Amino acid sequence: LQTSFIAPTGSYGYLLKPGLGFELKFTPGDLDKRFKFGFSLGWYKLKPTQDTFPTYGIQSGNGTQLWPDWEVIHSYSVVSFGFINEYKILKKKFSPTIGMDAYFYAIFLRYDGYKDGGGAGTDTWTFAIAPKVGISYELKDNWLLGAGLARSMSFYGTAEHQAYWKTYLSVIYYFD
């Protein structure tokens, strides 16, 4: 299980507050292997930074006109499916780690806007990579604790480019 603190950047940093995310991770193999790979299923929900966002609409025709507009974000949540990998630098119980994860994000956004005439929403998707650095500690026989920092950067999909910092803490149990 991994808990992450998600901090959006760019335009999403203006629209959405940082929040918590959760991932269930499956990493087969032995606890003391230096290279670990696996899969994850995650979810996070972020809240808007303000109640109403002023914006504008553009109408073309006999000249261009700007119309005042507003939007209210009701919900923003993401379901993630990931391929995770990590390399333990030292052959010791306590070691720095580096890695690169790849994700598919399903994004669910619900909002209201003046120009939209009421409830609107978009369901989009994107692929992302997340280079990361961290530390790991082998606790007892089958337990691994990890912590680190990742930078998730989307590169393809129907969603606008999204980037965020992800500070994480994970607790992993390896079955015999």
User: And the tokens for 164?
Assistant: 């965020």
Say if residue 11's pLDDT is above 90. no
Q: What pLDDT shows up at residue 35?
A: 92
**Distance of alpha carbon 149 from alpha carbon 92, whole angstroms:** 21
On whether the CB atoms of residues 176 and 127 are closer than 8 A, the answer is no
Q: Which residues contact 135 (CB under 8 A, 6 or more apart)?
A: 94, 95, 96, 97, 146, 147, 148
Least confident span in 60-74, 76-90, 124-138, 151-165: 60-74
Q: What pLDDT shows up at residue 77?
A: 92
Which of the two residues, 114 and 43, has the higher pLDDT score? Answer: 43
